[in-house]
Structure 1
Amino acid sequence: MSQQGHLAGIDQQRSRQRFHRVLLGASVPLLVLLSWQLLGHLGVISSLLFPTPLRIMNAAIRLIQTGELYDNIKISVARALSGFLLGGSLGLAFGILVSLFRRTEKALDPTVQMLRMVPHLAIAPLFILWFGIGETAKVLLIAKGAFFPLYINAFLGIRGVDNKLFDVTRVLGFSKWKQVIRLTIPGALPHILLGVRISLGVSWLGLVVAELMGSTAGIGYMMSDARQFSKTPVVFVGILIFAVFGIVADSAVRMLERKWLSWQDSYKGH
């Protein structure tokens, strides 16, 4: 067999493997949806509490046609990304700073760990008093949640880098900045990317809390408004939106992991 044919066979095998992974991952949700639709059609479950997937789909189509869904998604995504970028970047910066210097760790880490234990719902009323019910309070609440996963994982990743590598960089005459760029961050990258995945998830959770505290737009507001008028299908549309955007964001980071961490020979499971 020629080399070109061999490569084509490898590509086909990889395509089949990707198709099987997608099929396997979709099998459970499809089974749940089919069972749900059947039970709702037969009247086994309440149509008010658990509207069938077809009713939920029809509600989503109506929201798309009126433009309401797009407008609310646009506002929610902007809030989530703003909070994630603010909190995540600060978490990464503080994580690197605290992990590199013992004095900084002793000075800052106890305070950070104490703040980490304060729940979103407990601090939300305080943010409203400080910043009102505008965008600032919502973005800061999301940023508060996005900060800690990146802070902790950056800290653990850098502290997990082999100390002998730092000795080598000192022998080679690396400056502190070059040491951070060429050794510290690449060595801690697996932990940092894990922190990004967790921070994105927490940002979506924080968005729900943020949009329930006096919002007039956004997916959380749309769900709260629908709940008041017993529009259960719209509530399920909102839940589905959060789930879809959450898995898309997580998949994007996992793609970066596969690209940037391809050098890792780690266990993939059987």
Structure 2
Amino acid sequence: MTATHTSPAAGPAVAARQFTLRGEVRAVHSLVLRELLRLSANPTQVLMLLLQPLLFLLAFGGGLNSLVPGSAVGGSYRTYLYPGILLMTIQAPAISVGIRLITDRNSGVLRETLMAPARRATLLCGICLGGCLTAAAQGALLLALAPAGGLPYQPLLLLGLLAQLTLAAFALTSFGIAFAVRTRKAETFNTVLGLSAAPLLFTSGAFVPLSALPGWLGPLAACNPLSYAGDALRRTIHALTPGGHGHGHGAGGVEVSVRWGSWTPPLALETAVLLLAALGALFVAARAFRRHEATV
């Protein structure tokens, strides 16, 4: 009786044929559904995460709205602050996906996830997409309070803001995962997150226009992904609100934070930069995830 032998070189090819499109899609669907179930199972935690942005919007925004002149922010300060509050709302839930990735790895849950009939990169994309959608869903809850930010209830405006907010959530989730795949301890991730969260917001012009801050913050803002996300939200508000909210600031009458030298990049370019940065971070994370999979 003759035995059939498979050469070592044929092994990866045979294994690769085991991954079907249906299996990849089902794996992504399962990971996204898991994140959404986590969100729905903890309504108290969601409310607690929304409490701080709401306090900032109602207290900080309402208190300074009459003190900050409209000429300084291209409109009312409350409307200027609202995009920054939206970013604050999604920042923690988006980046915290990285913490769950680390804890799942240390507890053995990730090892079980990797048994799914899907490529490692696909599984990582599913984790990222699930975190992105849960963060965007929490931001959508704050979008329901648009009048508190001085905005009208207009479907096109809210959809435009939700689209930009989802892109920002995708970028933050990608960056968090890119760092998490190289981090073994959740404490290290929490420390870095705690030290970077506030500086990222404040150097993005989320609360105060960068034109009112020292000039050396300009280059930092140009490297900060939240700067592009905040500008995109404000420009969307300006473009989709009747009459706009600007008084000759930056591009199209709206106060902007990002400038490349003396040039202000248009909205489409800012959106493309944010998307490419997010995809680049996810690509780097996927490569590192495959490289370190043997130690998972």
Q: Same fold (TM over 0.5)?
A: no
Which TM-score applies when normalising by structure 2? 0.34
Q: Which protein is richer in helix relative to its size?
A: 1
Query: What TM-score, normalized by structure 1, do the two folds share?
Result: 0.37
